[in-house]
Structure formats: C-alpha cells, structure tokens
Structure 1
C-alpha cells in the first residue's frame, strides 16, 4: 500500500495563506456592498411607488368628495326652481350645461337631466304585475321611430310582468320591475348598440310615472300620442322653447288635431325625478358621480334615491 499523499496546503506556511484570505474578504465585502446598494435601490423604488399610490388615493378621495358636494349643489338648484312654479322646461337654469368650474387644482363639469322627459320602461308594468296594453303600444311606437325592432317590447314585457290575460311565457321567471337601465343588458336583444340608441329616450323609475311633455324628445312625444307624427312632434318641441306647456290640457290644445285620442301614458308639464351627472378632474385622478334625485314639494331639498361613484 502506498503511503498517504501529503496535502501541499498543509505544508504551506501560515504567512503564505494570508494574501488569499485577504482577497476572499475583499470580494465578500464587495458582494455585501453591492447587495446593500441593490436592496436600497429597490426599497427607494418601492417607496416612490407607495408615495405615488398614496397621492392617487388621496386625490381620488378628494375628487369623490367634490363630486358629492356638486350633487348637493344640483339638489339646491332643483329645490330653488320648484319655488318658481310647477312647470319644468328646458329653458330653466337647471337644464343648462354647467360650464367648467375650478376649485383649487380640480375642474368640475356637470349637468342635470329630467328623467321624466324620457319614457319610463316600468310604465309597461301595472301595480298588479300585469303588462299595461297602452304603455306597451307606446313603447313599440318608440322603438319603430328609432329604427329598432318592435319585438324588443315583447322581450321586455316578458321580463316585467304577466300578459294582460294573466299568463306568463313558458319557463319564464316571475316578472319584476327594472331597478336601473343596466338591467336591460340581461334581456334578450338589448345589445350595446340597442342600448346606445335608446339611451336619451328611455329611463327607469319606480312605478308608473307621467312623461313631462316640456322635456320629452320628439320621438317620445310621437310615441305616447296616437296620431302625432314625428315631424309634427318636432314642431311642438320647437314651439315649447319659447312657450312651455302649462299643463296636459295645454299640450292637447296645441296639437294639430285636438280630437286625437288621449295619450297612451299619463303626461304632465312638471317633473320630480332628475339625473345628476358630475365629473371632477384633478392632477392625478378623475371621479364621476351619477345620482338620481327625487324632488318633493316646493322649497324642500330633493331626496337622494341612489348615488354611483365611478
């Protein structure tokens, strides 16, 4: 058996190993410094991200609060308008597009729309859960005037309630009123293109509500009044700019033929339900508030029915 081989390093004097040890220590120190520098850079980057995110959250909260305050201001405008009389028309202060307003570093824009100037889709549903024939006919007329399929009225009616004879389509769920226009997305045929076409002509309010003939679109006027063509409805809409309708009787008296049948849905010259749409732009954030206000008796602040912050 050959003798064990000697380890050369073991024979090396201690003084000869010191340069290698010092070199290893220097390399290790350099690695530690590089790691600390990289970690510090990463932490600073994360801190910058955190600061920026905090600023965004702060600005978003502030723009949201400004939007809520603007909704309150819109309610004050509507309350003040109610003290001037029961008629609501498009020449009044509340109906004007608000110019951009500056508040510190934020810009506010907004408008108020009369939802009773639109066709309330829940008018198709009576209190007993059955479909109202006259409102159903008015909605079909509106769809036709907008170039949409009249069958959309049938699919909506199937969602809302029972047929006039009390029956329901096979396998249909119990009828229920709409809560928001967004509910239409779940109904067959109501595609994004259809909803975009309907947007300024329809609304969703609880129960059956009268249509304000002072703010309704010509298409809605022609839909709710049998015998009134779209061309004649546009003439009426032009005339009400300078002389709003005082009441439903005044509307009928100004028809080309006062002997036309009664309107298919109730009509009025004033409103109680208004949609408020506010946008707030800030340096780092944007907020939008959409609210439905119900105006009670004259002089009282409107009731907030719902508010959505976007």
Structure 2
C-alpha cells in the first residue's frame, strides 16, 4: 500500500469516528430536551389536577351546604307547625285561673333523616314594644327602662334616643336635624318613617351605642301594632316601664311572687302589695298575649341553622287563626 493510500484510509477512519461522535452528542442533547419537556408536562398536569381537585372539593362542599340548607328549611316548617298547634291549643283549652301560655315552651328534640330539630316559643309581649312610643304616655316608662339598664345615661342622651325613635317611626316626617345627621354619616341613610320591623333598626338611631343596644335588646321588641305588656311573663325591667316610681326591688319581688301564684287577671296584678300604690290601671296591662317568637334550631353534623318566626294568634268570634309575620335565618 502506498503512502498516499494509507493516509486516505486513516482520514476516512477519522472522519467516520468524528461523525459517529457528533451524532452521539446530538442524540444525547435531544434526549435531555425531551426529558425536560416531559417533566414540565407532568408537573403542569399535576398542578392542574391539584387545582381542579381543590375546586371540585369546594364546589361539592358548597353544593352540600346548599342542599342541607334547603332541606333544613323544609324540616323546620314542621317544627313551626308544631308551635302553631301548641299556641292554638293553649287558647282553646284554657281554663279559669290558669296561665294560658306557660312560656317559654320547649319542644322535644326530634330526629329526621340525620337532622335534629327543636323549637322554643317566646312571649313577645313580655317585652317593651318600641312602636308603642307613638303614644306619649309610654315615653316615661321607656325612659325608666333606659335608666335602669344604664344608670350613667344622662337625661339629655335619653331624650335624644327617644326623640330619634319617634322621628324614625313617624310617617311623612319633614326634614330635621336627624335627617341631616343621618346623611352626614360616612355611610349615609335616611330614617324609615314607618313602624319598626326589627329591633336591629334601633342600632341606626342617633344616640344609640352598641353597648347600650346589647344591654337593651333582651327587653325590647318591634311588633306590627301597639301592644300591652303581659305582666305574667314580663321581666322585672319591663315591669318597671309600667310606672316611673316602680323600683327594681319591687319588680323583682313580683317576678318571684308569680312563680308561686301565677297572675291570671289584670286586677290580680293591680292588687299586689307592690302595685297597689302605683299609678297603673288594669286597661294598660294584659295577662294574654297574641305575638310570639318561635326559635327553631336545626342541626346536621356540625352545621347549625337557626330560624326565627314571628307568629300572631288572632282570635275572632271564638275562632283561632295563626299568622306568620316574618321569618329570618342564620347559619353557622
């Protein structure tokens, strides 16, 4: 073999080795890129799957809560029907010298398809009706209640609150200081100029504070019409609204006395030792109520649904009719 041919062979061998090496590098590079892309796709799919599972779980939970909420409302209506029957039968079966409605009335705890339901009936005429303040004769009693709840309240603050309530519940009231005050607030509003539907409206009255409202709310109510206080069920502070000279000790003694001897007639109340010398007349009080609040609690697992229903018992010519005025609901 000549020198020239030998060099040519060596060159060919070198060229083949070089090409083979280059091809191997390219192959390895391509394999690495494919692997990175594959890992990226897997990570992306995993992230999307996680997000979809989280959203699906939230949607499932939300749907479950909505279904339970709807079912609970239907279940609660049965408990409200129980309350209506209870109040209707209390009236029909009333006896002389017996309390007609021994409130609060507690229903038994019933279970249905995993739900626990129970109700309690409260006498709303055991409270001071804010809509009674359209009558000037009730102002002094409400002043007495405010002073009892918070002895530190000044006369000026008490009068401001009472004037604010009167302005709120008076129809077609003209523009005044209250009008300007409400519109000047960071979140402005106007007075309703109608009867209150809820005691929560009292929060909006000029002069009312959260602390005073929380202390007062157990003794007040907003009913569709003027009502008399039921002296058999009213608490001591509410009894004090009947007379500005009736003190807390005397009112508490009446509450204790009626535990032993229930008050079944207005005259019986007037004849009590702590009342005889008070300027209270039988036509200003009652021992019978027509407005009641039904508190229905529905429980399913850890979810609670609370429904409040205001009922009116109307008696016309011996016939008893139960009327639902409103319902409100809370969930937690």
Q: Which residue of 2 aligns with 1:180?
A: 198
Residue 284 of structure 1: CA displacement?
4.5
Distance in structure 2 (CA, Å) of the matches to 1:243 and 1:119: 23
Residue 214 of structure 1 aligns to a residue whose secondary structure is coil
Residue 208 of structure 1: CA displacement?
1.6
Aligned pair partner of 1:40 in 25, 39, 49: 49
Residue 291 of structure 1: CA displacement?
1.4
TM-score (norm 1): 0.79
Distance 1:25 1:275, change over 3 A: same
Residue 315 (structure 2) pairs with residue 303 (structure 1): no
Q: 150-159 vs 138-147, which deviates more?
A: 150-159
Task: Answer yes or no: is the 8 Å Cα contact 1:55–1:284 preserved in 2.
Answer: no
Residue 215 of structure 1: CA displacement?
0.8
Residue 150 of structure 2 aligns to a residue whose secondary structure is coil
Aligned pair partner of 2:279 in 258, 261, 273: 261
Cα-to-partner distance string for 1:145-182 (whole Å, 9 max, x where unaligned): 223425334423333249xxxx9895344854322101
Q: Which residue of 2 aligns with 1:289?
A: 307
TM-score (norm 2): 0.74
Q: Which residue of 2 aligns with 1:68?
A: 77
Matches within 5 A, 1:8-23: 15-16=23-24, 17-23=26-32
Q: Which residue of 1 aligns with 2:213?
A: 195
Task: Answer yes or no: is the 8 Å Cα contact 1:275–1:292 preserved in 2.
Answer: yes
Give ranges in structure 1 of 5+ residues lacking alignment: 1-10, 126-131
Aligned pair partner of 1:29 in 38, 42, 51: 38
Distance in structure 1 (CA, Å) of the matches to 2:56 and 2:252: 61
Distance in structure 2 (CA, Å) of the matches to 1:169 and 1:22: 83
Task: Answer yes or no: is the 8 Å Cα contact 2:160–2:207 preserved in 1.
Answer: no
Distance in structure 2 (CA, Å) of the matches to 1:202 and 1:304: 20
Cα-to-partner distance string for 1:16-42 (whole Å, 9 max, x where unaligned): 544443443344334333433333333
Distance 1:44 1:230, change over 3 A: closer
Residue 56 of structure 1 aligns to a residue whose secondary structure is helix
Cα-to-partner distance string for 1:264-295 (whole Å, 9 max, x where unaligned): 98211100001112222211522111111111
**Which entry has the higher C-alpha Rg, 1 or 2?**
2
Distance in structure 1 (CA, Å) of the matches to 2:270 and 2:103: 26
User: How many residue pairs get matched?
Assistant: 290
Distance 1:18 1:77, change over 3 A: same
Residue 249 (structure 2) pairs with residue 243 (structure 1): no
**Greater RCO (Cα-Cα under 8 Å, separation 6 or more):** 1
Residue 226 (structure 2) pairs with residue 217 (structure 1): no
Matches within 5 A, 1:151-162: 151-161=157-167
Residue 295 of structure 1 aligns to a residue whose secondary structure is strand
Compute the RMSD of aligned alpha carbons.
Answer: 3.3
Give ranges in structure 2 of 5+ residues lacking alignment: 1-17, 180-190
Task: Answer yes or no: is the 8 Å Cα contact 1:121–1:202 preserved in 2.
Answer: yes
